[in-house]
Amino acid sequence: MAKPLLEFTDRGIYCSKGKFYIDPWKPVDDAVITHAHADHAYWGHKNYLAHHLSKEVLYYRLGEINLQTVEYGETVMKNGVEICLFPAGHVIGSAQIRISYKGEVWVVSGDYKTQEDGISTPFEPVPCQHFISECTFGMPVYQWKEQADIFNDINTWWCNNQQNGLLTVIAGYSLGKAQRILQNLDLNIGPVYTHGVIENTNEALRRNGVVLNPTTRITADTPKDEIRKGIIIAPPSAIGTPWMRKFGPYSFGYCSGWMALRGAKRRRAADRGFILSDHADWDGLMSAIDATGCEKVYLTHGYTASFTRYLNEIGFDAQEVHTLYGDEEYTPDSNTEDTPSKSPPKGETLNEVNDIDNKQVLPLGEDLGGVGGNI
Ligand SMILES: [Zn+2]
Ligand SMILES: [Zn+2]
């Protein structure tokens, strides 16, 4: 039998026919990158291929790399193998990678969400025979609310804080969540201030032609009483730091899909937890997998074991694969001052998952997306 078009190796997903890798975690010659999060875009490859909206963020995070960029739907040939990028709806510039050769078609989802966020090009199902899907939130308990409802809650909370004399600080990771928050805040309430890590990513995106709402970078010279009239967007790593404490009485909100877990808000020391994720929820995963019409599905990220079992039970041909992809929320950004020293809070989520479903026991290292979380 012929070798499959894609293989899972200790460097990453490999196409031996085309001699390239997809999101490899060890240095290789040719890397196709789904998106610029640190667990997918590693430093050290000779050549990179990515969507053109990932360009400036990749340069900012990885420095001088040899990068070719393409549009969605544009085909690149490598050693006779066709590579084409399709929108993944995860963050700005994120792509699913379709690989085809002599009628054999594979799609690597990277991270994706099916819900439209208003800033990322909306997810598009891509028909294929083999689908490699993430399943960060592959449990039925994860069901996202409408984005408009979540931002109603956030804007109302901000207004109430103002009335109570509290500054508002909202946390979300620097690529994706921060811009999604920024574009959906009600700027009639006040101006938006940013932590340096967030603003560096905003600037990279603006260099790439992305139009974002106005923001002011917080520096040592920014008057604190001015900041108090607005809202601060900060990365999760800024939580509880002296940087944050110096802003005085504030209410702190945390935006994450993990906020769906009981106790997550308390452990994050957040006053408010908003369930907002850039990954597909349960229904999103099911509909995306279904829409590919695939013969075989491979699962990475998150609840791979239980999700694979479930898919096999309902008639899919599903297989769990081990990768180093993790959860960007717990993956320190490279090349930034945003370097959380803390490991992913392993164990805490295990307990929470057990709260939801006592029968569910996750393999260690998969609770928050695996070892990639601490690289
Ligand atoms: Zn990601
Ligand atoms: Zn990921």
Q: Which of 274, 292, 327 is the last residue of a domain?
A: 274
Ligand at shortest distance from the CA of 136? 2
Q: Is residue 287 domain-shared with residue 304, that is, in the same domain?
A: yes
Under-50 pLDDT residues of the chain:
331-375
Q: For the domain that residue 339 is a member of, what is the CATH number?
A: 3.60.15.10
- Number of domains, the chain: 2
Q: Which of 237, 254, 274 is the last residue of a domain?
A: 274
Q: Which residues surround ligand 2, an ion (CB under 5 A)?
A: 39, 111, 325
Ligand at shortest distance from the CA of 93? 1
Give residue-wise pLDDT tens across range 159-175.
Answer: 999 999 999 999 999 99
Give residue-wise pLDDT tens across range 278-301.
Answer: 999 999 999 999 999 999 999 998
Ligand at shortest distance from the CA of 25? 2
Q: Is residue 338 domain-shared with residue 266, that is, in the same domain?
A: no
Q: Is residue 205 domain-shared with residue 133, that is, in the same domain?
A: no
Q: Is residue 295 domain-shared with residue 243, that is, in the same domain?
A: no
Distance (angstroms) between ligand 1 centre and the Cα of 291 equals 21
pLDDT of residue 329: 63
Q: Is residue 21 domain-shared with residue 137, that is, in the same domain?
A: yes
pLDDT of residue 195: 97
Q: Is residue 199 domain-shared with residue 309, that is, in the same domain?
A: no
Q: Is residue 154 domain-shared with residue 263, that is, in the same domain?
A: yes
Q: Which residues contact 169 (CB under 8 A, 6 or more apart)?
A: 231, 232, 234, 244, 247, 250, 251, 252, 253
Distance (angstroms) between ligand 1 centre and the Cα of 22 equals 14
Give residue-wise pLDDT tens across range 107-147.
Answer: 999 999 999 999 999 999 999 999 999 999 999 999 999 99
Q: Is residue 159 domain-shared with residue 120, that is, in the same domain?
A: no
pLDDT of residue 330: 54
Q: Which of 221, 253, 274 is the last residue of a domain?
A: 274
Distance (angstroms) between ligand 2 centre and the Cα of 32 equals 14
Q: For the domain that residue 261 is a member of, what is the CATH number?
A: 3.40.50.10890
Q: CA 73, CA 17: separation in Å to the nearest integer?
A: 21
Distance (angstroms) between ligand 2 centre and the Cα of 356 equals 24
Residue 2 lies in a domain: no
Task: Indicate the pTM of the whole model.
Answer: 0.87
Q: Is residue 113 domain-shared with residue 218, that is, in the same domain?
A: no
Q: Is residue 195 domain-shared with residue 207, that is, in the same domain?
A: yes
Domain that holds residue 304: 7-142+278-374
Q: Is residue 347 domain-shared with residue 364, that is, in the same domain?
A: yes
Residue 1 lies in a domain: no
Residue 181 lies in a domain: yes
